[in-house]
Amino acid sequence: MGEKIQITMAKSAGFCPGVKNAIDKVLELAKNRKKPIYTLGPLIHNKQVIETLREKGIHAVNSADEIKEKRAILVIRAHGIPPEEETKIRALDLEVVDATCALVKHVQENIRTHTLKGYSTIIVGDKDHAEVVGLMGYTEGRGFVVSGPEEVKSLPHFKKANIVAQTTQEEDVFLAAAKEARKIADDLTVSNTICNPTRQRQKETAEFSKDSDLVIVVGGKNSANTARLFQICERLAKKAVHIEREDELKKSLFEGASNIFITAGASTPTWMTEKVLEKARELAGREVNPVMEQLAFAWKLIITGSLYTALAAAALTYVCMKLERVPVSVKFLLMAGLFAFSLHMANRAAEKGTAAPGKARRLLFVKYRVASRFTALVCGALAILLSAALGWKIFLAAAFFWGVGMLYPYKLPMGLEKFGNFPASKDIVTALGWAFMCAYAPGLWRGGALSNSTQLAIFFAFLLVFTRSVLFGVSHAHSDMIVGKENFYKAAGPTLTYFTLLAIFLLLAGILFSLKSAGWQPHLAAALITGLFYYLGLMLFFYFRKPPEHITAETLIDTQFIILAVLAYSVNK
């Protein structure tokens, strides 16, 4: 059985656009405003994400009356609220921010328009769901909620009626309800307001469930759209299970299952389904080579432990020293590796806000953070000590860049926290730090910090590391990690991001071609041009296909520097 097991992840899994928009809004508010931030009800129906937002100071309240601070920020969640409630809260001494999903707003306007024309409204959905409660407010007392076609039969006769769907409703249920509604209305308008992301998610789930021995549905137990996905799976698959976290999976669940499908609700981040996929592979009983399994585990530790990042930084330093014609020094390679390792580890610890709720898990993450920060401080101190041995100028510059890098995820001193709010600030800070350590420091040590070759190396390193950081941002965004506009991809959007990356590739390639043509280290320039095509292929891969899970993505991105170092080394052979 082991070798024949097939586990498929739904392509439609991950946050829907409405959820992404709501999370982006509150993150920007948290980053740019000093005021307390509240959401009117849970922003989305996912405990893990709500816990993460709470750690960032964003709290959910059931009523505006619970807010005691004046001029606090109150966010209307993606589900929307009744118009009379919105009027009430806007009259209070609060800053109200509307994060209602655009597709929900479309349904609200649809109901409002038809209500003004004298239509009654039939809403196919869950009467207690926040979205439906909000929609009912637009019916002016002439609204009816039904869960399906059977409940339509008990409705009164209508002269004019408009039937709409909760945006996450199952389409077959809505169409069947509309069919029944035609029998009780003289004039019926059918407004199929199920959103396209929901329609696509349900369609994919239905197609794969038919041929699956086991379907795993990931999402909050209080999420309506996740519950509907589970209902579809229960009808079509041999066996289906609805879980919130990967640790709910048991080995017995996989007995006799050779075709497994994993899907998720619209409020379930991709990183959660990736954890479920990893756990499912572990429990499915596939026959694997124990040596390969141990190697895979070891590689995961190398990546998550920031060791590969350290190697990538040392590799880039080697390339820059070759560009500058500086004698390669092990001290600089080690210093750059420790510098990158320290900052990468510290940033990982700062980003670990995705633990599931529960005292045990929170305690585990606190211990992880403490250990990571301690390790980062020790390695950073070693990097600074090494820099001191190379001269006081290098020491001061290294201490400055390391200090800014360590403080960046938190609150920067001396008003520098405003820079943290600047779009792409994280990518810029990362690129500046690496450019100093990998290129400027060797040039400063040689005494030619302003020489043409050092300036070239700094420019080369900055753009390559900026590209690296942006691609990390693309991977994080596609995994639905909680990131804001300090990430270039989030700030600029997909089109401008990939246009910028392509422009950087063309610029670097053009410079290297010019150097080769001018006879300046032509063999090294040719080798680096060859290496740049790896990044071009990686960009195209990320553009045309969904980026792989984060371990693979991080490996692919940082391998660029290893390839460049190998090619630069080969020039000496």
Which two tokens mark 265? 């609700």
Are the beta carbons of 312 and 340 closer than 8 angstroms? yes
Residue 196's φ and ψ, nearest 5 degrees, are: -60, -45
C-alpha to C-alpha distance for 199 and 193, rounded to whole angstroms: 10
Please name the amino acid found at residue 116: L
Closest by Cα among 292, 268, 291, 272 to 280 = 272
Question: Could you tell me which residues come within 8 angstroms of residue 230 by beta carbon, excluding any fewer than 6 positions away?
Answer: 217, 240, 242
* CA 314 – CA 272 distance, rounded (Å): 33
| Pairwise CA distance, residues 509 & 213, whole Å | 51
Considering 131, 170, 180, 554, which one is annotated as catalytic? 131
The arrangement of strands across the sheet holding 143-146 comes to: 143-146, 120-124, 158-165, 185-191
Contact status, residue 490 vs residue 484, Cβ threshold 8 Å: yes
Specify burial of residue 226 (Cβ count, 10 A radius: 0-12, 13-18, 19+).
buried
* Distance (Å, whole) CA 188 – CA 186: 6
Q: Is 241 left (phi over 0), alpha (psi -120 to 50) or beta?
A: beta
Tokens of 149: 């076609």
| Token code pair at residue 426 | 């994280």
131 in active site: yes
Residue 222 and residue 219: Cα distance in Å, rounded?
A: 8
Q: Which amino acid is at 522?
A: P
Positions annotated as catalytic residues are 131
